[in-house]
Structure 1
Amino acid sequence: MSGMTSLVQAAGVIERKMETVSNNLANVNTVGFKEDQPSFREVLSNAQRVVPESFEERFLSHEYLDDYVGMDKSAVVVDEVGKNFEPGRIRTTGNDLDFALANEGFFTIETPQGERYTRAGNFQLDASGRIVTNDGYPVLGTNGVITIKEGKIQVNESGQLSLDGVIADNFRLVRFQKQDKLQKLGQGFFAPVNSNDLPIESEEIRLKQGMLEDSNVNSMLEMTRMITATRAYETVHRALTRLDKLDEKAISIVQT
Structure 2
Amino acid sequence: MATGAEPRTLEARATIMENPIYIALSRQDALRRQMDVVANNLANMTTPSYKNQRMMFLEYLAKPAATPVEKVSMVQDYGVLRNTAPGPITSTNNPLDVALQGDGYLAVETRDGQKFTRNGHLTLDLDRQIVDVNGLPVLDEQDNPLTVPQNAGAITITADGMVSSSQGQIGRLKVVRFEREQFMKELGGGLYTADEEPRPAPNTKVIQGAVEDSNVQSVVEMTQMIEISRQYANNQKIIDAEHERQRNAITKLSRLS
TM-score normalised by length of structure 2: 0.82
Match of 1:190 in 2: 192
SS at match of 2:215: coil
Q: Distance in 1 between matches of 2:167 and 2:20?
A: 70
Match of 1:28 in 2: 45
TM-score normalised by length of structure 1: 0.82
Are 2:123 and 1:106 equivalent residues in the alignment?
Answer: no
SS at match of 2:250: helix
Q: Distance in 2 between matches of 1:87 and 1:27?
A: 15
Q: Distance in 2 between matches of 1:237 and 1:164?
A: 67
Instruction: Name the structure where strand makes up a greater proportion of residues.
Output: 2
Which of these residues, 164, 167, 170, is aligned with residue 168 of structure 1? 170
Which has the larger Rg? 2
Q: Is the 8 A contact 2:103 2:201 kept in 1?
A: no
Q: How does 1:115-194 map to 2 (within 5 A)?
A: 115-143=114-142, 144-150=144-150, 151=152, 152-164=154-166, 166-192=168-194
Q: Distance in 2 between matches of 1:130 and 1:247?
A: 69
Which consecutive aligned stretches of 4+ in structure 1 deviate over 4 angstroms post-superposition?
Answer: none
Relative contact order, CA 8 A, sep 6+: which one is greater? 1
Q: Distance in 2 between matches of 1:41 and 1:231?
A: 20
Q: Distance in 2 between matches of 1:240 and 1:38?
A: 23
Gaps of 5+ in 2: 1-15, 60-68
Are 2:87 and 1:88 equivalent residues in the alignment?
Answer: yes
Cα RMSD, aligned residues only: 2.1
Q: Number of aligned pairs? A: 226
Amino acid of the structure 2 residue aligned with 1:12: D
Deviation at 1:79, TM superposition (A): 3.9
Q: Is the 8 A contact 1:89 1:214 kept in 2?
A: yes
Deviation at 1:41, TM superposition (A): 10
Are 2:254 and 1:255 equivalent residues in the alignment?
Answer: yes
Gaps of 5+ in 1: 43-68
Amino acid of the structure 1 residue aligned with 2:134: D
Range that drifts further, 238-247 or 26-35: 238-247
SS at match of 1:140: coil
1:118-166 per-residue CA deviation (whole Å, 9 max, x = no partner) reads: 1110011110111111221111112311111132211111111112161
Deviation at 1:40, TM superposition (A): 5.6
SS at match of 1:87: coil
Amino acid of the structure 1 residue aligned with 2:219: M
